[in-house]
Each structure stands twice: as structure tokens, then as C-alpha cells.
Chains A and B, each alone.
Chain A
Amino acid sequence: GAVVSQHPSWVICKSGTSVKIECRSLDFQATTMFWYRQFPKKSLMLMATSNEGSKATYEQGVEKDKFLINHASLTLSTLTVTSAHPEDSSFYICSVRDHPSYGYTFGSGTRLTVV
């Protein structure tokens, strides 16, 4: 499958600041990437579908102005958590949909802690 790199692996930020998380598909041109959020001991919840060259599609209940997604190239999607609050602390994971298996390859995740 594809090789997916996510950066940073962890970040601590102050309330009110913004944090950008990068997801790179190193060996696969990804027209679509997915962003997930995972709370401790919980499952992965899809936040949004990132589409290269167009607007992201957000899942119900996810604030698009809060979680800004940019997919400017076939190898990079970014998630920016704006005006972060402690409740935004979570594990954020991106994934790429590989062909032809249609399975997902996940990045290693970013643990965000807002203090």
C-alpha cells in the first residue's frame, strides 16, 4: 500500500492558538485523503474527506471553520485546528485510499494536547 507520513507526531499548544497537521502521501498520488479523530480508547471517527483541488467534505457535526482542510496537491493534505481549546485535544489520523484494494493506509497519527 501507499506510504503515508504525518507530521508532527505530537504537539502541545496553548488555548486560542492554531495548529497545522500535515499528511503526505509519499509514493502515491492521492486525490482523496481522509481525516479521522480518535479519543482515548475509542474508535476512529471520520471528520472530513479531503479532495485535491476542491473543497473538503465534512461529516455531520464537524465544524468546517474550526477544522480547516487544504488539499493543494496530490501528495499533501493539511488539517488546521483553529482557535484550539482543551476539548480539541485528541489523536488525529489521516489516511489515503489506495487503489485497487480501496483499503485505507493510515498515517501514524498526531496527538494534539491543548493546554
Chain B
Amino acid sequence: GQQLNQSPQSMFIQEGEDVSMNCTSSSIFNTWLWYKQDPGEGPVLLIALYKAGELTSNGRLTAQFGITRKDSFLNISASIPSDVGIYFCAGLSTSGTYKYIFGTGTRLKVLA
């Protein structure tokens, strides 16, 4: 199935550092979502974006809906150990079927 490309694929950072990851597609999306998944659990929604150019924050997390509608970015400020996990972006298909396409994931590991 179709997937969105996320980068980086994985990253190790020191506690307290800021993190940036992005998600790109060759297709236009109307909505972007960012999820976090802990091992053995289902993904949990972090941020939802509905308009091109929109910048939304949720605590230490900030995400942006790219102007071209083909990309999105997620930033985590002052990372803490519990930020460890896999971060997925998801784009809402414009086909009208309300199906979300998921990114390939960014695996984040935080070194204390």
C-alpha cells in the first residue's frame, strides 16, 4: 500500500535536546496527523493539522502542515526519556474515502 516517507528513520538524542522529524509525500493531503506508538501498544494521537501552513502545539510538541500540502514537520523540544517511541505521520487521502495513509515511522531513543 501507499506510504509516506518519514525522516530520519531513527535517531538517538541526549535528554534535553530538541528533535525534528518530517514526513513527505508526492500526493496532496487535506489533513495531517502525528502519532506516537509505544512498544506493544496502539498509536496515540499527538497533533492534528487541518490547513496548509497551520502550526499547532501540544505541550513540548509542535507540528506544521506544509504549504504545499505534501509535507509536515514535528518538533519536540527539551526531550525527556518518556519521549522514546516510534512517531508516525498520517495523511488523509483526498479521494474522499477518509482513509489515512501512514508514514514509515521515526524511531526515537533518548539517552539520559
Contacts and interface: CB of A to CB of B under 8 A. Distances in A.
A108 B105 CA distance: 18
Contacts, number: 59
Contact of A45 (B1, B44, B48): B1
Interface in B74-112: 88, 90, 92, 97-105, 107
Q: Bin the interface of chain B by size.
A: 20 to 34
Which of A49, A61, A103, A111 gathers most chain B CB within 10 Å? A103
A95 B102 CA distance: 13
Which of B33, B42, B43 gathers most chain A CB within 10 Å? B42
Contact of B31 (A32, A102, A108): A102
Q: Bin the interface of chain A by size.
A: 20 to 34
Interface string B27-63: 0000101010000111111001000000000000000
B20 interface: no
Interface of B: 1, 3, 31, 33, 35, 40-45, 48, 88, 90, 92, 97-105, 107
